[in-house]
Amino acid sequence: MFETFLIQPIYNLFVALVGVMPQGDTGLAIIALTCLMRLVLYPVFTASIRTQMGMTAMQGDLDALKEKHKNDKEALAREQMGLFKKHKVNPLAGFGALFIQLAVIIALYYALFNEGFPVINTALLYSFVSAPAVVSTGFFGILDLLTPHHIILAILVGASQYFAIQLTLGRTPTAQKLQPDKAAVQQMQQRMMLYLMPAVMAVTSYYFAAAVGVYFVTSNLFSLGQEWLIRRQLQK
């Protein structure tokens, strides 16, 4: 099922994109594929961002409910559900976006590297998709997408991830609005997320094929634009 519903469709879309790119540039096809997938998943990520912003907006109400019903778990759960409904918040939306993105990344990696690319596996192609006449794994002729250890690309991955996380942290309440103990925990978590995650992503991109790094940079830049657009719409 994973191959039928995820790997094969992504593989066919990727092969079709390679066929229309200049000189069959695989790097351009990865960028186009990433943007297309993010556009398809735009409603999912919008719901996730909307939920996180809604949780921030009602944080004070949640804290008041926890204090009011600290000895009545059932009443607390009932009041919380009512608060979620009032603010049109789905607590599971964030997990859904994370799960879908992880599944797509795995499927993309399998489609590119498990099928012997750049050799096209015609057995996986749909009848209306033709194998491209030319396939180039050199991104603009300067970056071999099938080889690892590209330090500049790894730095770009880390930097774009840093700015994407920094913008994401703007959804959380400021430390001044929280109790001292919660503020200290939040600041520690934010520092870990802001510096550790970009470092992990940069190291991962360095040791994986450059195609993975191109995907991460494109996805991070798309996330930056999407975050700005959705937050602007929701603030209106």
Task: For 103-142, write each residue's pLDDT tens digit.
Answer: 777 777 777 777 677 888 888 899 999 999 899 988 887 8
| Burial class of residue 220 in the structure, from the number of CB atoms within 10 Å of its CB (0-12 exposed, 13-18 middle, 19+ buried) | buried
pLDDT, position 175? 44
Task: Provide the whole-model pTM.
Answer: 0.79
Residue 48 banded pLDDT, cuts 50, 70, 90: confident
pLDDT, position 176? 45
> Given a cut of 60, is residue 177 above it in pLDDT?
no
pLDDT, position 171? 61
Range with top average pLDDT, 49-63, 76-90, 217-231: 217-231
**Degrees to nearest 5, angle at CA 106 with 30 and 225:** 50
pLDDT, position 186? 65
Q: Specify the higher pLDDT residue, 234 or 232.
A: 232
- Other C-beta atoms lying within 10 Å of the C-beta of residue 140: 11
Tokens of 177: 């609005």
How many whole angstroms separate alpha carbon 158 and alpha carbon 216?
9
> Given a cut of 60, is residue 49 above it in pLDDT?
yes
DSSP result, the chain = -HIIIIIHHHHHHHHHHHHHSGGGBHHHHHHHHHHHHHHHTHHHHHHHHHHHHHHHHTHHHHHHHHHHTTT-HHHHHHHHHHHHHHTT--TTHHHHHHHHHHHHHHHHHIIIIITTTTS--GGGS-TT----S--B-EETTTEETT----HHHHHHHHHHHHHHHHHHGGGSPPGGGS-HHHHHHHHHHHHIIIIIHHHHHHHHHHHS-HHHHHHHHHHHHHHHHHHHHHHHHHH-
Q: What is the mean pLDDT of the chain?
A: 82
In this structure, are residues 33 and 13 in contact, taking their beta carbons and an 8 Å threshold? yes
Residue 59 banded pLDDT, cuts 50, 70, 90: confident
pLDDT, position 199? 94
Residue 28 banded pLDDT, cuts 50, 70, 90: very high
